[in-house]
Structures are given as structure tokens and as C-alpha cells.
């Protein structure tokens, strides 16, 4: 058994992002050679450490931060005929999971300054069929959760926080991801902590947690909120009736769990680095009359997945700014995702048959004008990277940004 593998890919320079125990834990998994008896060991270690870090009762790992939300919806029994309120300005997984569950996505508009789902708009979208709200901590900033939870309490709705982009962000002193009934995190490669792909559900609700585990583990009888492993005595019994319900295979691979555990141990530092980079970009933008940063309300701590500003496109076209920034040596700038309901999948009705679960009235609503604020904001957003593991590169990017602003002013 060779446990004497190099610490880094190159064997020389320390790796700047995977600087903790990731390599050690991966070696531990490989040393076990995927024997079935060892299955889910690292996953369980990750889940328990994640739950502790977020102060949640349960953490249930998944293969990505899309499967997580689908599991929660299925576990909550949300399906055909039900409406789920979501923001339209988000990575489209937030919409996809609602369709996957055969439910209907109902779009609430966003706040013009924070770009986050607006409680006021949620109120306007409520109907007797509303069952859940998925809030999105867009770019690393928690939405205004107190009024949203109040709406949910009054109307008996489930609130899922889509926290794929928000690790250790805070709202009124509390960690984002612990404010709703359940939250979803993503470990996809651009996220604060990563295992290439991966995700996590956190919740304090024991019944929901049990059901989420069943849904993400093919409905196996014998798994539980804190156990992903089947009993040997069960699987050696020919009368073992395995599948207590239908489910999906959304388990996180052990190798990914090993990397995610190493990353979790250094999460504070990973977030701190992004915060430092965002601070430099923010200073470069300060005072520019045609760039308006995403507003961070005083009761929030932003976790800066990316640093986002709205460009006054009456004055400077989006592509003109992007080209000038690139010409100065800037990194690529990301545009905001298109408004979800304006994507071809809605406009051309490519919904893999889900259109049969959506009423003709709702299908007719998915067109320009449904969420005017989001539609007006989306084409103006510029997303700058914050994942510079060497702060000197972040400084260089901030200087390039400042020089670009001077040139275009």
C-alpha cells in the first residue's frame, strides 16, 4: 500500500486552495480501496463536521447542490399541482429542481439594490397552491429572511435557503443557511469550499432529515438522518425489503467527501480570502458614478462568492466595459444568468414533459414583464471573481479595474 504520495500535484509548490488535510483524507479513502464495509465513512465525518460548523442538527451530503434541493422538495411531498416561489435572477438550478419535482415555479421579483428576492413580491405571488419558497443568497448575500419566515409561518410554507453561493454569510448575527427550514449548499468548483462537485442539506427538522436521506439514497429502508450505511445483517437477508419508497441515487462519493472535509476545516480562511479580494475590488469601484455595487444591508455579513456591480449601460455598454477590462489585463468578467423564465427551456417549452404539470395560465406568464426589476437589473450586472488564493493577484486585478474605470470615465 503506497501512502507515501506527494503532498501536492507538482510535489513542490504548496497548493493554494487545497492547503489543508485534503490530501491526507483522500489517501485515507484510497488506502481503504473502497471496501464496502468502509463505505460512507468519510461522508459521515464530513456530515457531522458540517452540522457542527453550522450549528445544525442534521447535515446530509449530496452529489451536488441541485440534487440537494430536489431531495428537500420530494421529502416535503411537494409535487404536481403545487407552486414554489423562486427568484428569477439565479443560477437555473433553483428553477430546475421545482420542475424536477413536477411542481410549478412561480417567480417573485428582486430588490433593485440587493438583487435578492423581495418579500413584498413574494406576498403578491401567494395563492392557495403555494407550498414553498426557495430563497437564494445571490453572490454570497442572504436575502431579508425575517419577513420571509413570517410569510411562511402565516401561510404554512416550507422555506429552503439556496446557499450554494453563501458560506458563513450572516443575517442579523445568524449564519445564512440556518434561517429557513432547510438549506442547500454546493461544493462545485467555483464555490467557497469545493470537492469539484458536491452538496449538502442542513436542517434542524428530524422528520425532514430522515426523509431527505431516504430520497437521496434510493429509498432504502434502514438509512437514517445520521446513517447512510445499510446494515450487513439486512443485506444478507433474502427477505430484506429494501426500498421503502422511491428515491434517487444522490450520494456524495467518498473521495469528494474527503476533499470537502479538508476544505471545511479551512472554511474561515477560504471565506476570509474572498472577503479580502472583494474589499480591494470595492475600493477600486468607490466613487465611480456609473458602477453601483450590490448593496450589503447593515444587518448582513456578505460572504463574497463574487463581487458584483450594476453598470449604467446607458453610459457604457456591457461589452465595452468587459473589452476594456480584458484589454487592460483583467480576468474574465461573468455576466448574470439570464432571467430563468426567459431561457429557451421556457420560451420554446423544452421542459421534458413537465409542461403538463403547469397550468396554461402559468405557462402564458413566463414572458417579459413578469419580474420587471430583475429583467432591468440582469443585463447590467458585472460579476468579478474573488477566488484569488494569492492576494497579490487580487491587488493586481483591483488596480486593473481602477485603471479601466479611469480610462472610461
Ligand X SMILES: Cc1ncc(COP(=O)(O)O)c(C=O)c1O
Which residues of the shown chain bind ligand X in the complex (CB under 6 A)? Answer: 64-66, 90-91, 93-94, 136, 162, 164-165, 186, 188, 199
Cβ atoms 335, 383 nearer than 8 A:
yes
Residue 99's nearest CA partner among 110, 108, 86 is: 86
**Least separation, in Å, of the C-beta of 195 and ligand X?**
10
Q: Which residue has the cell 435572477?
A: 89
Compute φ and ψ for 382, nearest 5 degrees: -120, 125
Please report, in angstroms and rounded to a whole number, the separation of the first and last CA atoms in the chain.
62
To ligand X, the closest distance from the beta carbon of 245 in angstroms equals 23
Nearer to ligand X, 64 or 118 (CB): 64
Q: From the CA atom positions of the chain, what is the Rg in Å?
A: 22
Least distance from ligand X to the Cβ atom of residue 64, Å: 3
Strands 58-62 and 199-203: antiparallel
Nearer to ligand X, 78 or 402 (CB): 78
Comparing every residue's Cβ against ligand X, the nearest one is 65
Q: With respect to ligand X, which residue has the nearer C-beta, 54 or 284?
A: 54
Q: How far is the CB of 400 from ligand X (least distance, A)?
A: 25
For ligand X, the closer of residues 83 and 197 by Cβ is 197
Task: Answer for the pair 161, 144: CB distance below 8 angstroms, yes or no.
Answer: no
Number of Cβ atoms within 10 Å of the Cβ of 27: 18
Rounded to whole angstroms, the Cα distance separating 64 from 199 reads 4
Residue 284 or 381: which CB sits closer to ligand X?
381
* Minimal distance, residue 254 CB to ligand X, in Å: 18
Note whether 285 and 408 are within 8 A (CB): no
Alpha carbon separation from 392 to 41, 120, 269, 285 (Å, rounded): 39, 42, 16, 18
Grid cell locating 189:
468548483
- Grid cell of 81 as nine digits: 399541482
Annotated catalytic residue 231? no
Annotated catalytic residue: which of 191, 211, 229, 385? 191
DSSP-assigned beta bridge partners for residue 158: 132
Q: Which is nearer to ligand X, 91 or 342 (CB)?
A: 91
Residue 68 CB, nearest approach to ligand X (Å): 8
Instruction: Give the whole-angstrom CA distance, residue 357 versus residue 84.
Output: 13
Q: Where are the alpha helices (DSSP H) in 178-314?
A: 206-216, 232-235, 254-265, 267-285
Provide the annotated active-site residues. 191
Amino acid at each position: 500500500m503506497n501512502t507515501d504520495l506527494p503532498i501536492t500535484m507538482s510535489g513542490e509548490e504548496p497548493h493554494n486552495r487545497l492547503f489543508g488535510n485534503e490530501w491526507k483524507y483522500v489517501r485515507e479513502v484510497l488506502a481503504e480501496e473502497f471496501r464496502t464495509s468502509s463505505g460512507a465513512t468519510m461522508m459521515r465525518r464530513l456530515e457531522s463536521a458540517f452540522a457542527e460548523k453550522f450549528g445544525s442538527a442534521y447535515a446530509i451530503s449530496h452529489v451536488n447542490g441541485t440534487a440537494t434541493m430536489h431531495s428537500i422538495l420530494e421529502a416535503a411531498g411537494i409535487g404536481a399541482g403545487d407552486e414554489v416561489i423562486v427568484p428569477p435572477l439565479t443560477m437555473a438550478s433553483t428553477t430546475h429542481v421545482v420542475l424536477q419535482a413536477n411542481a410549478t415555479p412561480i417567480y417573485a421579483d428582486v430588490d433593485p439594490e440587493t438583487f435578492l428576492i423581495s418579500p413584498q413580491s413574494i406576498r403578491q405571488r401567494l395563492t392557495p397552491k403555494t407550498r414553498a419558497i426557495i430563497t437564494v443568497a445571490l453572490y454570497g448575500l442572504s436575502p431579508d429572511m425575517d419577513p420571509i419566515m413570517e410569510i411562511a409561518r402565516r401561510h404554512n410554507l416550507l422555506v429552503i435557503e439556496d446557499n450554494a453561493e453563501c458560506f458563513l454569510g450572516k443575517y442579523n448575527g445568524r449564519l445564512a443557511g440556518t434561517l429557513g427550514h432547510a438549506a442547500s449548499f454546493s461544493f462545485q468548483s467555483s464555490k467557497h469550499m469545493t470537492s469539484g462537485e458536491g452538496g449538502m442539506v442542513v436542517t434542524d427538522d428530524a422528520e425532514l432529515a430522515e426523509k431527505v436521506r431516504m430520497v437521496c439514497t434510493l429509498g432504502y429502508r434502514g438509512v437514517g438522518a445520521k446513517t447512510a450505511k445499510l446494515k450487513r445483517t439486512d443485506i444478507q437477508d433474502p427477505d430484506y425489503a429494501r426500498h421503502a419508497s422511491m428515491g434517487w441515487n444522490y450520494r456524495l462519493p467518498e473521495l469528494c467527501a474527503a476533499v470537502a472535509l479538508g476544505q471545511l476545516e479551512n472554511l474561515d480562511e477560504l471565506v476570509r480570502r474572498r472577503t479580502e479580494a472583494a474589499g480591494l475590488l470595492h475600493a477600486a469601484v468607490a466613487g465611480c458614478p456609473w458602477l453601483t455595487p450590490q448593496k450589503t444591508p447593515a444587518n448582513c455579513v456578505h460572504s463574497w462568492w463574487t463581487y458584483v456591480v450594476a453598470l449604467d449601460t446607458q453610459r457604457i455598454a456591457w461589452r465595452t466595459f468587459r473589452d476594456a477590462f480584458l484589454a487592460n489585463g483583467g480576468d474574465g468578467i461573468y455576466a448574470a444568468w439570464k432571467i430563468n423564465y426567459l431561457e429557451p427551456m421556457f420560451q420554446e417549452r423544452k421542459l421534458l414533459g413537465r409542461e403538463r404539470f403547469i397550468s396554461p395560465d402559468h405557462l402564458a406568464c413566463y414572458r417579459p414583464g413578469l419580474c420587471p426589476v430583475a429583467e432591468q437589473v440582469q443585463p447590467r450586472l458585472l460579476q468579478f471573481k474573488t477566488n484569488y488564493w494569492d492576494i497579490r493577484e487580487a491587488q493586481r486585478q483591483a488596480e486593473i479595474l481602477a485603471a479601466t474605470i479611469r480610462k472610461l470615465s
